[in-house]
Amino acid sequence: MFKTLKKYRIQLIFLLIGMLGGLAYWKFIGCQTGTCPIKSVWYYSTLWGGALGYLIGDWTNDMIVKKKKKDEQTI
């Protein structure tokens, strides 16, 4: 389990940051009328923020892995 957490730590960190960002977006900006499908309920904006955070974290992790492989090949 710890090996899996270590492997996906960057994605999990970005997931949590995205979830907090989605929650903050709902709290401070939100939807005044309540008709916005994503922004009207806190858990929708939190889920979308988490999904976006995970995708950015996965992309970042891929860039880091590619950089490490490139550096290892040049040595």
| pTM reported for the whole predicted model | 0.83
Please check whether residue 57 is in contact with residue 12, taking contact to mean a CB–CB distance below 8 angstroms.
Answer: yes
Question: In the numeric block, which tokens belong to residue 12?
Answer: 């999990």
What percent of the chain has a predicted confidence (pLDDT) above 90?
Answer: 56
For residues 11-26, average pLDDT:
95
The amino acid present at 10, given as its one-letter code, is I
For residues 59-73, average pLDDT:
92
What per-residue confidence (pLDDT) applies to 2?
Answer: 82
Query: Which pLDDT band holds residue 75 (cuts at 50, 70, 90)?
Result: low
Provide the terminal-to-terminal Cα distance of the chain, rounded to the nearest Å: 32
For residues 9-35, average pLDDT:
90
For residues 23-29, average pLDDT:
90
